[in-house]
Copies of this chain bind each other. A is one copy, B any other.
Amino acid sequence: MVANDMEQQCASDNYSGICPEAWEAMREANTGHALPYGDDAWTARASELFRDLFETDCEVFFAFNGTAANSLALSALCQSYHGVICAASSHVETDECGAPEFFSNGSKLLTLPSADGKIAPEALRELALRRSDIHFPRMRVATISQSTETGRVYTVAELEALAETSRELGLLLHMDGARFANACASLERSPAELTWKAGVNVLCFGGTKNGMAVGEAVIFFNKELAADFDYRCKQAGQLASKMRFLAAPWVGMLESGAWLRNARHANRCARHLATRLEGVQGIELLFPVEANAVFLKAPAEKLELLRAAGWRFYTFIGGGARFMFSWDSTVERVDALADDVLRLCC
Interface residues of A (CB under 8 A from B): 1-9, 12, 14-18, 23, 25-26, 28-37, 41-42, 45, 63-69, 71-72, 79-81, 83, 94-99, 101-103, 105-108, 130, 134-138, 208, 213-214, 228, 230-242, 244-246, 248, 251-252, 255, 317, 328
Contact = CB atoms under 8 A, between A and B. Distances in A.
Contacts of A244: 17
A87 to B, nearest CB: 16
A69 B106 CA distance: 17
A43 to B, nearest CB: 9
Given A1-B45, A6-B32, A134 B230 contact: yes
Contact of A241 (B65, B106, B137): B65
B34 A15 contact: yes
Prevailing SS type, chain A contact patch: loop
Most chain B beta-carbon contacts within 10 A, residue among A23, A32, A98, A245: A98
| Most chain B beta-carbon neighbours within 10 Å: one of A68, A81, A94 | A81
Contact of A231 (B81, B213, B242, B328): B81
B214 A68 contact: no
A228 B79 contact: yes
A323 B29 CA distance: 23
B16 A4 contact: no
A235 B102 contact: yes
A208 B241 CA distance: 8
Contacts of A208: 241-242
A340 B105 CA distance: 46
Nearest to A41: B2
B64 A231 contact: no
A94 B242 CA distance: 20
